[in-house]
């Protein structure tokens, strides 16, 4: 009776042990499967991280390429703008220089005419001043002589002549002042015209240099 009971207990225990062993086996299998899945997920995560890093680098490179393209387009537009300004500056200088010879010829001619007029008016003033001085000396000499009708008549005539020459001198001085002013205005205008052409020449040279520098920079960028 005890032997059968013991065999029965052994059978039950064996069955339970077998069941537990099966459970452990299932747990181990599940654990291995979980570890495999974890390893797969970690590896996938690494792959995704690497792909993201590559995408980020590609995006940065693409952005840099876009920026370089934009910069190149901007530099081309700037170069074209500088070329237009240089062309305009050179055109303005050529136009100014073209009429410079004609302008100088007119200026020289006017300057010669005005110089001759100034000399003529000064000569007339000198003649009138000399006549007044001579008449005043004669007037002084007659004034010291004995009064007679002839002397009085001569003194009146001298006084009239002095007055006439004085008026002539005043008129000539005013005309001389006006002509001299006109001559100085012409000189100042001519000087400004020359300076304007010089500034246009300088501006044209600077513009050309700017175009050359911009073209060289753009060329180096494209080669790079």
CATH of the domain at 206: 1.10.287.620
Residue labelled with tokens 């000499």:
141
Q: Give pLDDT, residue 108.
A: 87
Tens-place pLDDT, residues 193-221: 888 888 888 877 777 777 777 677 666 66
- Examine the pLDDT at 73 and tell me if it is beyond 70: no
What number is the average pLDDT over the span 31-48?
A: 79
Q: How confident is the model at residue 2 (pLDDT cuts 50, 70, 90)?
A: low
Tens-place pLDDT, residues 91-145: 777 777 777 777 788 888 888 888 898 898 899 889 988 888 988 888 888 877 7
Going by C-alpha positions, the residue among 131, 154, 129 that lies closest to residue 141 is: 154
List all residues 6 or more positions away from 166 whose beta carbon is below 8 Å from its beta carbon: 128, 132
Supply the range of the domain harboring residue 155. Answer: 2-223
Q: Give pLDDT, residue 222.
A: 60
Q: Give pLDDT, residue 99.
A: 77
Query: pTM of the full predicted structure?
Result: 0.48
Q: How many domains does the chain have?
A: 1
Q: How confident is the model at residue 69 (pLDDT cuts 50, 70, 90)?
A: low
Quick one: 93 exposed, middle or buried, by C-beta within 10 A (0-12, 13-18, 19+)?
A: buried
% helix / strand / coil in the chain, to the nearest 5? Answer: 95, 0, 5
Q: Give pLDDT, residue 165.
A: 87
- Examine the pLDDT at 20 and tell me if it is beyond 70: yes
């Amino acid at each position: 009776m005890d032997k059968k009971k013991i065999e029965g207990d052994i059978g039950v225990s064996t069955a339970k042990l077998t069941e537990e062993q099966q459970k452990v086996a299932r747990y181990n299998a599940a654990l291995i499967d979980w570890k495999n899945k974890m390893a797969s997920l970690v590896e996938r995560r690494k792959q995704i991280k690497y792909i993201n890093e590559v995408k980020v680098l590609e995006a940065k490179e693409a952005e840099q390429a876009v920026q370089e393209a934009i910069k190149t387009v901007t530099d081309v537009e700037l170069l074209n703008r500088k070329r237009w300004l240089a062309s305009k500056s050179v055109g303005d200088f050529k136009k100014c220089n073209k009429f410079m010879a004609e302008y100088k010829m007119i200026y020289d001619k006017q300057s010669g005419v005005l110089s001759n007029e100034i000399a003529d008016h000064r000569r007339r003033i000198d003649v009138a001043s000399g006549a007044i001085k001579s008449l005043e000396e004669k007037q002084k000499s007659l004034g010291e002589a004995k009064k007679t009708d002839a002397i009085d008549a001569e003194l009146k005539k001298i006084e009239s002549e002095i007055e006439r020459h004085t008026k002539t001198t005043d008129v000539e001085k005013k005309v001389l002042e006006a002509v001299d002013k006109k001559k100085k205005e012409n000189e100042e205008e001519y000087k400004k015209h020359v300076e304007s052409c010089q500034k246009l020449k300088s501006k044209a040279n600077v513009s050309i240099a700017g175009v050359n520098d911009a073209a060289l920079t753009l060329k180096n960028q494209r080669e790079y």
